[in-house]
Amino acid sequence: MAQTAKAQKIIRLEDFIALANEGKPIELAIQLKKQIVMQKTQSGEADDLSVGTEMYLLMAQYSQTGVAGEMPGVTKIYVHGWVGESKAEAEVNRHIANERLIMDYTRLRNGGVIFKEKFFRSE
């Protein structure tokens, strides 16, 4: 039995594509962000001591627009890097994230989803 759009859980970009393939008008708003997180690892010298390293995530939040009621969005991480890395490393990571965005944008567009493309920019 097919689920209604309201009862269907949106947890992947493919879920938006599936709804569009069913003939439902799907329009997405995309918000890009850089989030700083702390990665904790165990110290090699003492098992009970953790060591923290700051890293960043380049991620996108996909939210459906023009829908009555609240439908959950999808957050996808496109790349991670280390705070304090060289400018060249940061540029490579940004390029990788943008190339992965292009692949997702192609899938969404081919699936009939409407959206405005956004890309990660140099800082």
Residue 93 lies in a domain: yes
pLDDT surpassing 80 at residue 5:
no
pLDDT digits (tens, 9 = 90+) for 65-82: 866 555 678 999 999 999
Residue 17 lies in a domain: yes
Residue 70 lies in a domain: yes
107: number of Cβ within 10 Å? 14
How many domains is the chain built from?
1
Residue 68 lies in a domain: yes
Of 92, 95, 117, 94, give the one whose Cα is nearest residue 104: 117
pLDDT surpassing 80 at residue 119:
yes
Asked if residue 63 lies in contact with residue 73, where contact means CB atoms within 8 angstroms, the answer is: yes
pTM for this prediction: 0.82
Range of the domain at 78: 13-31+61-110
Q: Can you give the pLDDT at residue 32?
A: 98
Residue 36 lies in a domain: no
Q: Reduced to 3 states, what is the DSSP secondary structure of residue 106?
A: helix
